[in-house]
Amino acid sequence: MEVNLKFLLVDDSVLIRKKLRSILEKCNCKNIFEAENGEIAIELVKQEQPDVVFLDIIMPDKDGIEALKEIKEYNSDIKVVMASSAGTQSHLRKAIELGAYDFIQKPVTLEAVANIIEKIIKE
């Protein structure tokens, strides 16, 4: 079944965005946009109105926490999933306080992403 949601992938690593995109495509997700930093992410959120944003925490220009704050102020219905590598626990707590929907640990796995998509669809 096709997943009828719009996704925005935000990460300063092209490789991580590519991996996330291929995982989403395996989950039958078609509407996928990408941004390499928080600045571009905010512009794309306003242009494309994504349902779900996968947001890296540590990025240049505007980090994930800043971007999360702005996305939530713009539209609190957008589900923001924070992506973090080990050692960003304090950031994660802050992200949850600011309204992050969920978080996934890097390296991102098919199973973790599929679980989040399922959870969002069931709501």
Predicted local distance difference test score (pLDDT) of residue 84: 83
- The amino acid present at 19, given as its one-letter code, is K
Matching residue, tokens 């495509």: 25
Residue 75 corresponds to which tokens in the numbers above?
A: 């539209």
What is the per-residue pLDDT across 56-91, written as a single tens digit (0 to 9) for each?
999 988 999 999 999 999 999 999 999 988 666 788
User: 3-class DSSP state for residue 119?
Assistant: helix
Alpha carbon distance 50, 48 (integer Å): 6
Radius of gyration of the chain (CA): 13
Residue 117 corresponds to which tokens in the numbers above?
A: 């998509």
Assess contact for 96 and 89: CB atoms under 8 A: no
pLDDT at position 95 over 70: yes
